Chains A and B, each alone.
Chain A
Amino acid sequence: AQTVTQSQPEMSVQEAETVTLSCTYDTSESNYYLFWYKQPPSRQMILVIRQEAYKQQNATENRFSVNFQKAAKSFSLKISDSQLGDTAMYFCAFMSYNNNDMRFGAGTRLTVKP
């Protein structure tokens, strides 16, 4: 079974600075998807960014980018120019081509300080 590990339970960053959240996963499959979701205090789950495993190019979405290292099974999220609204729990998630379920990490609580 696939597992997703987020080794940083909590992190903080100063407003306008850059922060990187770590995620590693374990799978024997070669085709899969990876996601980062944001869960603000409202508890709504918001998709931040996605990466297809067959794509070597790292995904970017405005201030959010990933560093996808397939061989190392690593999928970190970089947030540039951090804003107060980025304060949230961030979850890394794995989804294989073959299964329809999604595996989540335990989350990293990010606090952006003014």
Chain B
Amino acid sequence: DGGITQSPKYLFRKEGQNVTLSCEQNLNHDAMYWYRQDPGQGLRLIYYSQIVNDFQKGDIAEGYSVSREKKESFPLTVTSAQKNPTAFYLCASRDTDNQPQHFGDGTRLSIL
């Protein structure tokens, strides 16, 4: 079955540590996205990528970094510069311009 796989489902970060959230899709979609969701709030865009080796900052990119070396993979690194990383992170992908986004099941990141 085609879909988006996010791993791990739960992740814990120590103070000063970088952590990487994985997002893999086998839908052959060009565009991929990372969102952050805080309790009781909507989704805020962190980064997005329309093609391999290219990505753009979203509204809350500070403290995060991404790479897009392969079409199917778009990992997100939460750096130590992100002072409030506890949140639910959702990865999404989209095919052509007139198609909606498909979402993974998310990763919940917490601080130890």
Q: B45: which A residues are within 8 A, CB to CB?
A: 101-102
Q: Please state if A91 and B43 are interface contacts (CB–CB under 8 Å).
A: yes
B1 within 8 A of A: no
Q: Assess the A44–B58 pair: CB atoms within 8 A.
A: no
Interface residues of A in 39-78 (CB under 8 A from B): 42-45, 47, 50, 52
The A/B interface has a contact count, at CB < 8 Å, of 48
Number of interface residues of A (CB under 8 A): 22
- In this complex, how many residues of chain B approach chain A with their Cβ under 8 Å: the count is 24
Q: Is the CB of A101 within 8 A of B33?
A: yes
Q: Which of B21-80 contact A (CB under 8 A)?
A: 31, 33, 35, 40-45, 48, 50, 58
Q: Which of A44, A52, A100 is within 8 Å of B94, CB to CB?
A: A100
Q: Is the CB of A97 within 8 A of B106?
A: no
Query: A104 contacts the other chain (Cβ, under 8 Å)?
Result: yes
In the complex where A45-B90, A106-B41, A107-B42 touch, is A100 in contact with B105 (Cβ < 8 A)? no
Q: Please give the residue numbers on chain A whose beta carbons come within 8 Å of chain B beta carbons, in ascending order.
A: 4, 6, 9, 33, 35, 42-45, 47, 50, 52, 91, 95, 97, 100-102, 104-107
